[in-house]
Amino acid sequence: MPDASPIGIFIAGLLTLGIFSFLYKDNPVYKVCEAIFIGVSAAYWAVEYFYSALYRKFWLGVFPPAGSGVEADLLLWGGAILGALMLCRMIPKINWLSRWPLAFIVGATAGLYMMLFFVSNAMKQIESTMQPLIQDSLLETLGSFTIAIGTITGLIYFFFSKEHKGIFGGAAKVGIWVLMVTFGASFGYTVMSRMSLLIGRMDFLFNSWATNFGQMF
């Protein structure tokens, strides 16, 4: 927070300690901090969406300031009308109108996503897996073998039309190990992420907040 005011840093520190107090047990201080967080978040998003979507996107798009060099985009009226139809949900007699923008969103998203998802998450991934096993260095060759064996055995584990016995069963067991290693790596990364948050808060309390506290009192 390079530009935070001293009073802002002071309040942020108190709120951090208030949230940490939940680790002992649920208490009124935690409840107050939680309520402040929810309230501030709701207000922030309301203002952000109003400013970004309604003002910057729609209003300035339809009525660009004179001399800005931006042309009016009348297509935005279509989005505005669909957005207004969503609000019909609150009027029982015409709430069926809200299904139109929903249908538009579902249809457009599915159409947009289908091919892009298939290309980037299926075709390209298969292509990346089908690499030569022998690479320039021993380490890269080992990596290629690991990817090939891991992919094949992992797929065998999820192949349930044949009983997991004999060589097939052995390969499925290797597949389980591959999955376990993957879950372990994911867990390790999750721990790292959460610890970074905790360390970030500790660093804030011991450095920014403590220094600021000393200057204020």
Partner 1 sequence: MLLAVTQGLGPVFSWFFWITFAAGLGWLLWMSITGREVERRIIFLFMGLTVSGAVLAGIILPVQETTVVRNVFDTIEGLSEGDRVLLSLDYDPSGAPELEPMAKAVSQHCFEKKLKICYMTLWGTGGAMITDVIALAKVDFPDLVYGDDYCNVGYRAGNEAVLRVIASDFRKTFPTDVSGTSLDSLSVMNGILNCADFKYIVAIGSGRPGIKEWVEYVVEPSGALMGSGAAAVSAPQLYPYYPQQMNGMMGGSKGASEYEKMLRRVYPKFKSSRAQATEIMGPQTVAHVFLMLLIVFANISYFLAKKRKGASA
Question: Quick one: 91 or 130, whose CB is closer to partner 1?
Answer: 130
How far apart, in Å, are the Cα atoms of 19 and each of 22, 26, 69, 96, 208?
A: 6, 10, 49, 43, 18
**Stretch near partner 1 under the rule CB under 8 A, chosen from 41-49, 81-89, 154-162, 166-174:** 41-49
Q: Does 206 bind partner 1 (CB under 8 A)?
A: yes
Residue from 38, 119, 130, 155 in contact with partner 1 (CB under 8 A): 119
Cα 120 to the chain's mean position, in Å?
18
Q: Which residue has the tokens 């457009």?
A: 108
Cα angle for residues 125, 128, 134 (degrees, 5° grid): 150
Q: Does 27 bind partner 1 (CB under 8 A)?
A: no
Indicate the burial class of 76 (C-beta count within 10 angstroms; 0-12, 13-18, 19 or more): middle
**Stretch near partner 1 under the rule CB under 8 A, chosen from 28-36, 81-89, 157-165, 188-196:** 188-196
Q: Does 195 bind partner 1 (CB under 8 A)?
A: yes
> What's the min distance (Å) between Cβ of 88 and partner 1?
21
Spell 55-75 as b/e; 16+ CB within 10 A means b.
eebbebbeeeeeeeeeeeeee
Q: Which residues bind partner 1 (CB under 8 A)?
A: 1-3, 23-24, 44-45, 48-49, 52-53, 56-57, 60-61, 64-65, 68-70, 109, 112-113, 116-117, 119-121, 124-125, 127-128, 182, 185-186, 189-203, 206
